[in-house]
Amino acid sequence: LLFLLLMKTSSIIYGCMQFGRSWDNQPISIQDRKAAFDAIEAAIESGITAFDLADIYTLGKSETLMGSFIQQNPSFRSKIFIQTKAGIRLHQGILGSNIYDLSGDYLRSQVELSLDRLKTDYLDMFMLHRPDPLVQIQNLRETIESLMESGLIKSFGVSNMSFHQIEWLRSVIPIPIKANQVRFSLGHSLMLDDEVFFNRDRHSDNSSAGTLAHAAVESVELQAWSPLDKGLYLQAPDETDDAAVINTSLQLNKLAKKYDVSPATIQLAWILRLPYKIRPVIGTMKPDRIKEAAQADNVQLDRKDWYDLWISAKGERLP
């Protein structure tokens, strides 16, 4: 495995959100451990070396399982990229809602907790999970600077942020924002739609217009979460699915035959075909599906195929 890490690395990031199965205090089972280790090994065998986590995933079990793998394979640590996030406090609001918290002391304590679970001295990247409208930005700056200076985090990123938010952070925090992890996929292509249909009609929102181009200009790596729409187009369609879902599923299957890969590979290749170097963060734990996903780097969809998928998923003609 270690030898495989020297090969070309994939643009796919492996998302560990499912490690440990349930978001509760059920202890980690032997099966959970085996499933997580099998997934990590399948990722590495496929050239995937970046792993995405968060303090909240399965209430910490996800980080604990990644930590067990690192503890058992210490020579891997320097060859893989570990990113984790903090800033969401689960179910702490009224109605059982989550609330967001980017206050410095809280983030520092979450980073320390993550490091402890992950059995590592440093995070390759620490990400703010969501924007917090109550953020005190000077306090955030001091915290991120001190985490960087102490070597606990090697780089800094964000998630679910508009480029306006990023510009605001950048205006105060003198540390590069290396990545923004946002929802993006064939079935959730708002950032792209807003870019292309800018100024289309009076009802359009266009709130995400500019995100893609801004990231390219400012060298913020975009990472796409739920890049396979959680399997929406990959399971056999049934009569409850709408026409766009059925057509997209058929289209993915047709192109899978043409390019001799799986439909999931085609769906990821659709993201990779854009010029913005967006990195899909995949979530399956099945080793075969992880290996299939990694093949997306080798597929170059032709222009019409790429557009046909986009049009199918939108369910309407382009203007």
Ligand X SMILES: NC(=O)c1ccc[n+]([C@@H]2O[C@H](COP(=O)([O-])OP(=O)(O)OC[C@H]3O[C@@H](n4cnc5c(N)ncnc54)[C@H](OP(=O)(O)O)[C@@H]3O)[C@@H](O)[C@H]2O)c1
Q: Is 15 in the site for ligand X (CB under 6 A)?
A: yes
Segment contacting ligand X by CB under 6 A, of 9-17, 95-103, 202-210, 236-244: 9-17
How many Å apart are CA 13 and CA 50, to the nearest integer?
5
Does the footprint of ligand X cover residue 52 (CB under 6 A)?
yes
Residue nearest to ligand X (CB): 283
- Are 62 and 20 a contacting pair, CB within 8 Å? yes
Strand 88-89 vs strand 99-100: parallel, antiparallel, or unpaired?
Answer: antiparallel
> Residue 319 CB, nearest distance to ligand X (Å)?
29
Calculate ∠ Cα 296-301-302, nearest 5°: 170
Q: Give the integer Cα–Cα distance in Å for 158 and 69.
A: 26
163-222: contacts with ligand X (CB under 6 A): 181
One residue of 283, 294, 295, 297 binding ligand X per CB under 6 A: 283
Contact flag: residue 282 with ligand X (CB under 6 A):
yes
| Contacts (Cβ under 8 Å, ≥6 apart) of 184 | 191, 192, 222, 224, 225, 227, 271, 278
d(CA 238, CA 13): 30
Judged by beta carbon, residue 176 or residue 231, the one nearer ligand X is: 231
Of 125, 143, 313, the closest CA to residue 223 belongs to: 125
Q: Does the protein bind ligand X through residue 228 (CB under 6 A)?
A: yes
Q: How far is the CB of 135 from ligand X (least distance, A)?
A: 17
Q: For residues 240 and 226, what is the distance between their CA atoms, to the nearest angstrom?
A: 22
Regarding 249 and contact with ligand X (CB under 6 A), the answer is no
CB of 186 to ligand X, least distance (A): 10
Cβ proximity to ligand X: between 145 and 229 the closer is 229
Q: Write out the DSSP string of 69-92.
A: HHHH-GGGGGGSEEEEEE-EETT-
Closest to ligand X by CB, 180 vs 198, is 180
> Residue 126 has which token pair?
């620490």
Of the candidate residues 142, 229, 241, 308, the single one contacting ligand X (CB under 6 A): 229
Least Å distance, CB 160 to ligand X, is 5
The single residue among 247, 284, 295, 312 that binds ligand X, judged by CB under 6 A, is 284
As a whole number of angstroms, the distance between CA 206 and CA 200 comes to 9
For residues 138-167, which are near ligand X according to CB under 6 A? 159-160
Of 227, 270, 309, 313, which one interacts with ligand X (CB under 6 A)?
Answer: 227
| Chain residues in the site for ligand X (CB under 6 A) | 15-17, 52, 159-160, 181, 225-231, 234, 264, 281-286, 289
